[in-house]
Amino acid sequence: MNKRAFLAILLALFVPLVAYFIVSDLSGSATQMPRHYFPDSVVQRVVKGKQVLDTVWHQVEEPKLINQLGDTVTFDSLRGKILVMDFFFTRCPTICPAMTMNMKRMAESIHNGKRVGDKTNKRVHFISISIDPERDSLERIKHWADRFQVNPEQWWILTGNRDSIYQFVLEEIKLGLIDGEGVDSNFVHSDKFVLVDPSRRVRGYYSGLDSMELKELSNDLVLLTMEKDPNREFFLSGKLPIIAFAFLAALFGVFLLLFLLKKSR
């Protein structure tokens, strides 16, 4: 084997590895993930001898509510799922029906990509919470769910204790802190859809009546489904020594092959 063939083998070994890391780095830097909201604290830690500051983002606490099937539920049963929330009341004569219809369109447009069978996207769950629970009984939210043909496996219509709901809306989802929202703490009536990631951190607020913002929400949903779980280690973590050994073994194999071919000649 001549020198040109030897170089070709080395390129065959190195180029795919280098190309993978270049493409991975470029794709990661070009994608703007949905931002985080509401830092709780900043933690200082040491990584490879350097001090690094990590922001601890607010993680919403989960209320215990009742869905349209009469089941008492918490978001704990939705672990690993992205949540899209809105807040409504069944007697609302203005924005609520339009918001619910837009959420229905979004729920129907998001599927798992299967050509046949159950196309329900199991990674995303929709939630509508009544902000008038004293009037919105189980019977009324069931009627609302039936009116819009809501699939309970993908979308919960919820009611429950008023104090728990308003604590959740104002202190956890923090609708009152959104610029221009003007939320009344006595009666929350917002047109916002709220995006919450699988770690239960708020990642976006979008008008449920604005087509451009709904498109942005759809795009952010796609990005969140691709986001790496911060609690899950990269599959190569801790395996660099093994990878290095495997690469050296492959390189040794190439040299051994060259030596045997040269000797046979």
Residue at 22 is within a domain = no
Tell whether 136 is covered by a domain: yes
What letter does residue 62 receive in the DSSP assignment?
Answer: P
pLDDT digits over 133-164, tens only? 999 999 999 999 999 999 999 999 999 999 99
How many CA within 13 A on the CB side of residue 175? 27
Q: Which amino acid is at 147?
A: R
If we measure between CA atoms, which residue out of 44, 42, 46 comes closest to residue 56? 42
List the CATH number of the domain containing 211.
3.40.30.10
The pLDDT assigned to 132 comes to: 96
- Residue 29 located in a structural domain: no
Residue 152 lies in a domain: yes
- Give the DSSP H or E segment for 257: helix 240-264
Output 189 or 177, whichever has higher pLDDT.
Answer: 189
User: Do the domain assignments include residue 23?
Assistant: no
Whole domain around residue 151: which residue ranges?
Answer: 59-226
The per-residue pLDDT for 128 is 98
pLDDT-based confidence at 45, cuts 50/70/90? confident
What mean pLDDT is predicted for residues 238-258? 62
Assigned domain for 202 exists: yes
What was the pLDDT predicted at 30? 53
In-domain check, residue 247: no
Q: Number of H helices and number of E strands within the chain?
A: 6, 9
* Residue in this structure with the two tokens 């009324």, named with its chain if needed: 140
- Provide the whole-model pTM: 0.73
Q: How confident is the model at residue 255 (pLDDT cuts 50, 70, 90)?
A: low
Within a domain: residue 253? no
Mean pLDDT of the chain: 81
Q: Select the highest-mean-pLDDT range: 16-20, 29-33, 35-39, 126-130.
A: 126-130
Quick check: 183 pLDDT over 50? yes
Taking a C-beta distance cutoff of 8 angstroms, is the pair 44, 28 a contact? no
Kindly write down the DSSP assignment for every residue of 171-196, as one continuous string: IIS-GGGSTT---BTTB----EEEEE
For the chain, what is the domain count?
1
Instruction: Check residues 141 and 261 and name the one with the higher pLDDT.
Output: 141
